[in-house]
Amino acid sequence: MATAARAYTPAEAAALSEIALKSVHNAIDKRIIEAHFGREGRELFDEDLLRLKLWYGVGSIRHCKVISGLMQR
């Protein structure tokens, strides 16, 4: 049985992923995730939310490694 893909606005994506709305828009603007255009403007799908969460998580891990590297000097 086929299911319809759920479209989320950037605000909904931010709330679901617990990422700031500005970060969601930055990810779209930097083309880290692809925004589709629908009736309400930019729309994101389930796969986009997963990519967003992974991008945000990896970025914070990289940031922590850079900070810890600087502190060890």
Domain limits at 18?
A: 10-71
- Look at residue 25 and tell me if it is in a domain: yes
In the prediction, which pLDDT does 16 show? 93
Residue 41 has pLDDT above 90, yes or no: no
- Look at residue 54 and tell me if it is in a domain: yes
- Tell me if 56 sits within 8 A of 17, measured CB to CB: yes
What phi, psi does 63 have (nearest 5°)?
-60, -45
- Look at residue 5 and tell me if it is in a domain: no
Predicted confidence (pLDDT) per residue in 47-65, tens digit: 999 889 888 887 765 655 6
What phi, psi does 50 have (nearest 5°)?
-65, -45
For the chain, how many structural domains are there in total? 1
Task: Extract the tokens encoding 26.
Answer: 């930055």
- Look at residue 4 and tell me if it is in a domain: no
